[in-house]
């Protein structure tokens, strides 16, 4: 039981969490990231069919990363902290 009290005292003495990006900036960050995702998706759809597949793969990876961070920022901006 003493282990629990030690952990509890450490938890109470720890500083509060503070996010890297201000919470008020999250909707704008989500809009920019998701907008970039849709722009890159449109760019991929307009590439000629004889394009090098590695170029298309790199653009798709960037769009996927932007989309992932954009969805997390969007969820956090509405109060669903993931």
Q: How large is the average pLDDT for residues 1-17?
A: 87
- For the chain, the domains span 22-78
- Please report where in the chains the tokens 């995702």 appear, as a residue: 37
Q: How far apart are the first and last CA of the chain?
A: 32
Q: What angle do CA 19, 13, 10 make, to 5 degrees?
A: 105
Tell whether the model's pLDDT for residue 1 goes beyond 70.
Answer: no
Integer Cα distance of 60 and 64 in angstroms: 6
Could you report the per-residue pLDDT of 33-81, keeping only the tens digit for each? 999 999 999 998 887 776 668 888 899 999 999 999 999 999 999 989 8
Contact 40, 63 (CB under 8 A): yes
Predicted model pTM: 0.76
Closest CA to 59 of 40, 36, 34: 40
């Amino acid at each position: 039981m003493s282990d629990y009290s030690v952990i509890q005292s450490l938890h109470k003495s720890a500083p509060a969490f503070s996010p890297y990006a201000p919470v008020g900036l999250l909707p704008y960050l989500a809009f920019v990231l998701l907008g970039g995702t849709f722009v890159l998706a449109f760019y991929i759809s307009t590439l000629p069919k004889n394009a090098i597949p590695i170029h298309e793969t790199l653009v798709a990876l960037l769009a996927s990363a932007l989309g992932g961070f954009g969805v997390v920022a969007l969820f956090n901006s509405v109060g669903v902290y993931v």
